[in-house]
Structure 1
């Protein structure tokens, strides 16, 4: 678990996408979670193209 204020640094060091993309992916998971159809699984770009938030 990250301490308060460490999210941005962790994100920058751990993934290759922006804070806004991470936020959108979190929202997609919250809304769809394990119910996300197999057709929507794939790369970050593919997921972002198919989902509207």
Structure 2
């Protein structure tokens, strides 16, 4: 899914996902091109569980 889809899945703004990605603290993702980042739902769910208390 795209960054916008990932943000909706996590219930945060797309800019938040972008910020996490830039700082290296966000969910695992695949970069296909400079501005194309894709996420798997399983990775988002795992990341959310690990960071639930943060």
TM-score (norm 2): 0.36
Greater relative contact order (CA < 8 Å, ≥ 6 in sequence): 2
Which is strand-richer, 1 or 2? 2
> Rg larger in 1 or in 2?
1
Which is helix-richer, 1 or 2? 1
